[in-house]
A and B are shown apart, each in its own frame.
Chain A
Amino acid sequence: MSKIAIIGNGISGVTAARFIRKNSMHEVVLISEESEYFFSRTALMYVYMGHMRWKDIQPYERGFWKKNKIDLIQARAESIQFDKKCIQLNNGSTVNYDYLILATGSKSNKYGWPGQDLSGVRGLYHKQDLEYLERCSPGIRRAVIVGGGLIGIELAEMFQSRNIPVSFLVREPQFWSMILPEEESKMINRHILEHGIDLRLNSQLKEINGNEAGNVHSVTLDSGEEIKCDYVGLTAGVSPNIKFIESSEIETDRGILVDEYLRTNIPDVFAIGDCAQLRKPRKGRRDIEAVWYTGRMMGECVAQTICGKQQIYDPGIWFNSAKFFDIEYQVYGQVPSKMTDDLESFYWAHENGKKSIRIVYEKTQQTVVGFNLMGIRFRHEVCEQWILRKSALDKVLEEIRLAFFDPEFYEDCSAELLEIYRQKSGKKIEATAGWRLDEANLFLNKNNQKT
């Protein structure tokens, strides 16, 4: 029996702990200063908006940890002596380990803007960020959000729920245009404006201005324009939270460098989740992917390895999802923001301007490589199978209803989708499958037997 110390009780650390417990009787200790119990970081916004209470975003009841013999320590790891296998905590005590899992997550990016450390200027990542925002909120007459990504739009929605006017600065000409294709990006632009947000595209922050007391009172843009505000949300992405061990013998780049088994350069020390940087990422994937499910997968993978079933980290086919105010977004596979030379896409948008389907395919072979959905839900496993088996675009369109995952009675857009494809391609294709669960399962089973 070994002792496993996990630093960080986010989704990666907690998943690792759970799966170690599932597979073994190793001693497990979870160390985190941020919060007493594991919570879903992605749900912080819903606490601020009043959809849920703090206890509602904690997936496990208090008794869970004791019952599963996972020790919790609420303290910050100050430093680690790798040669002695010992962690120093900020409360003066130390923790020894046989295996160490670093799951320290991210921190909000700050790009050295003048005034970025004034009070009333902060990112949104940690529990403490939310508590700070809550304390500031009564005095905010206008907020400015810097950075056009997922956290930025969530923050805009949060302020909007409290009737706080928002100016949203996006450096690019479209919202999230590094990731979203132009049509989808424009759809979200419209949707942001529809919610009464003062969206400023092509706008860069030059300076954050404070008063004598050190509080923010305005921001100055590149254009010279000044916007008065009482809060500035910094949401220009996140980066690995590894400062406390950067000067140690552990090898780091932007994150902690790990191999395909999530091992660092130091024996018995692993890194998972947002803080880990893969030395050799899978083709088409990035070396750091700060998303919920990769954290979960890494946690499970490292648990298997520690429990004696060596497992290579394989994140499979890329997928992600988000919600921009009221528009749901799902992506499966490869969907570049601008089509490359070898890729093309078939795009359909609903006339209401809030739903669209984009299927990306390889030009010469016509094999489907990715799906981008706005306001429409697709079945994950079905999309994955089409991509894995390199299905042709025609075939996918014929079977497209297998993927539909919208609730019953929702508008079936497949007829319109096929009609537009027939017009564009001149091909005579007909829908061959239905949207029912049984048919989707039959399709998945058939394929499973093949592979």
Chain B
Amino acid sequence: MSTFGIKILQKGRNKMWSVVIGFSGFLMLVAATYDLLPVGLFILVISLTLISFGIILYAYEAYRDVPEGIKNNHNFFNSLSSRGWLGWLTGMVLTGFYILLYWFPEYLGQGDKSNTGLVAFFDPLSQLLKKQNASQWFVYGVLYTLAILIMGVKFIWKYRHSKYQLIRTLSVIFFQLAFAFLIPEFMLRLNMPYNDFKNMWPLNYYFFDGWHLQEMMQNGNIGWLMLIWGVLMIVVVSPVLTYFFGKRWYCSWVCGCGGLAETAGDPFRHLSDKSIAAWKVERYLIYSVLVFSVVMTAGVLYSFYSGRPSIAGIDTASLRSIYGFLIGSAFSGVIGVGFYPLLGSRVWCRFGCPMAAILGIQQKFFSRFRITTNGGQCISCGNCSTYCEMGIDVRAYAQKGQDIVRASCVGCGVCSAVCPRGVLRLENGSIDIFDRAKKVRN
């Protein structure tokens, strides 16, 4: 047999082993959920290590010996990444996990006084970090952060030829690990309120809730710092950064939801719907959520300051709980991540996130950010549109040679990376796009 054939076989065998290793770690987690494994830091670490090692080995096998560059081979033949049975199964498992996590945590072992099952399995790690037992949210936080870390490594391997992708992914990993996971946990350990300093209203929809305002105000300087920083983020930091760099500074460099979509969601990015119909649904849905979240926030603020539980006959607390159930849990969690293998990686960001809606409005009307196209080079191949996780038909603009400014663009830079003719570039510039459009040929 040729050396070429041997190499392929070897690769297949190593990949099979990596799947076996990763799954054995995963099975340990499942076993723990049903109390089939003894609790202990040692076993937890073994389980998580096996999962990480399996995935990283798989990525190594997939990309070693392969020259640097875009490799999207077989994406539409692979059952997992093309809505085959493996894709549907993964979608159902993920969705099921989210349903348990949000509404039936007792099935994961969350107890009032002491934990059992999966949550108890994470108790030792929680004790180590903050001297408290784990909750289902701690379990979720660890798995979430781990997913961004490991799948981030895979992402970097895949796009290693692109410095933009490398730096962006390291940024997303850093913000998740430090700001979303470690700093809040340490704050709890120091008896300070939980706070994720990179998160902001309205994505963080409880920021202006009475209990949260009270918690911050009752915690002295650190609490006031949290409150002031939270407000500054909304009114100063975010608009200024969006003006200079577009919403990408947040959505694909900092945000945790974006972080998961960019890393763990990357194998599914091409599944996002690019049809005009989907674009219509998107615009109605995302701005409706924004309006809902503004009304809900105004309601709870009114109740907080006036002490009245209802406004114009509407109970603000119930408004809040409807939002929390429908948007905060069902949309952002269950559908947002559970449907990765069916609707692509940015379902929540694209159709639901009120933060993305606000940043999008800023991006569209006063940001310097745009994607420029390179003269008449576009061959209409469609790689850019296919691999746009936000469902933007990039090709429609590129083939006309127009700059692309779209409220939904998160600036991930993958359209530019997959373009076989080097037509697209993410840029910040002060020239009006309409002036530029006048000059370009049709």
Contact (Cβ within 8 A) B380 A437: no
B residues within 8 A CB of A52? 76, 270, 381-383, 386
Q: List 24 A-B contacts (CB under 8 A).
A: A11-B380, A40-B379, A40-B381, A46-B383, A50-B72, A52-B383, A56-B386, A161-B74, A293-B376, A321-B377, A325-B69, A326-B68, A326-B70, A330-B421, A377-B422, A377-B425, A379-B375, A380-B377, A384-B375, A407-B162, A407-B163, A409-B163, A409-B166, A436-B429
Partner of A51, one of B76, B380, B431: B76
A 1-55 contacts with B by CB, 8 A? 11, 19, 40, 42-43, 46, 49-53
**Which of B4, B270, B430 has a CB less than 8 Å from the CB of A165?**
B4
C-alpha gap A261/B377 in the complex (Å) = 24
Is B381 in contact with A46, judged by CB distance below 8 angstroms? yes
Instruction: Establish whether residues B376 and A196, one from each chain, have CB atoms under 8 Å apart when the complex forms.
Output: no
* B interface size (C-beta, 8 A): 55
Q: With A and B bound together, what is the CA distance between A49 and B68 in angstroms?
A: 17
Query: Which interface class (under 10, 10 to 19, 20 to 34, 35 or more) fits A?
Result: 35 or more
Q: Is B436 an interface residue (CB 8 A)?
A: yes
Contact with A along B348-384 (1 / 0, CB 8 A): 0000000000000000000000001011110111110
A53-76 interface with B by 8 A CB criterion: 53, 56-59, 61, 63
A53 to B285, CA, bound (A): 28
B381 touches A57 (CB 8 A): yes
Within 8 A of A (CB), among B390-409: 395-396, 399
Tell me whether B303 is interfacial, beta carbon within 8 Å.
no
A50-B73, A328-B421, A407-B417 known; A195+B67 contact, CB < 8 A: yes
Q: Hey, which bits of chain A sit against chain B, CB under 8 A? A: 11, 19, 40, 42-43, 46, 49-53, 56-59, 61, 63, 161, 163, 165, 191, 194-196, 292-293, 296-297, 300, 319, 321-323, 325-326, 328, 330, 377, 379-381, 384, 405-411, 436-438, 441, 444, 448
Q: Does B275 contact A (CB under 8 A)?
A: yes
Distance in angstroms between the alpha carbons of A53 and B271 in the assembled complex: 11
Picked from B270, B428, B439, the residue with its CB within 8 Å of the CB of A437 is B428
A42 to chain B, nearest CB (A): 4
A445 to chain B, nearest CB (A): 8
Does chain A have a CB within 8 A of B161? yes
1/0 per residue B417-442: CB within 8 Å of A?
10011100111111100001001001
From A11, A57, A379, residue with most partner B Cβ within 10 Å = A57
User: How far in angstroms is the closest Cβ of chain B from A78?
Assistant: 29
Q: Within 8 Å CB of B8, what residues of A?
A: 163
Is A380 touching B379 in the complex (CB atoms < 8 A)? no
Is B87 an interface residue when CB atoms closer than 8 A count as contact?
A: no
Nearest chain B CB to A441 CB, angstrom units:
5
Give CA–CA (A293, B73) in the complex, Å: 27
Question: Contact flags (1/0) for B312-350 with A, using CB distance below 8 Å?
Answer: 000000000000000000000000000000000000000
Q: Would you give the shortest CB distance from A318 to chain B, in whole angstroms? A: 11
Partner of A40, one of B161, B382, B396, B442: B382
Task: For A293, list chain B residues within 8 Å (CB).
Answer: 376-377, 379
Name the residue of chain B whose CB is nearest to the CB of A40.
B380
A417 to B429: give the CA distance in the assembly, Å: 26
B242 within 8 A of A: no
Could you say which residues of chain A place their CB within 8 Å of the CB of B429?
A: 436-438, 441
- In the bound complex, CA of A328 to CA of B162 (Å): 13
Given known contacts A49-B73, A52-B270, A410-B164, what 14 new A-B pairs fall within 8 Å (CB)? A42-B380, A43-B380, A46-B382, A56-B382, A59-B382, A59-B399, A161-B73, A293-B377, A326-B67, A326-B69, A328-B420, A330-B377, A409-B163, A436-B427
Which residues from chain B contact A49 at a C-beta distance below 8 Å? 72-74
Q: B34: shortest Cβ distance to chain A, in Å?
A: 38
- Report chain B residues within 8 Å CB of A195: 67
Take A194-B67, A330-B422 as given contacts and tell me if A51 and B73 are in contact as well, using a CB distance cutoff of 8 Å: yes
Q: Are B431 and A441 in contact (CB under 8 A)?
A: yes
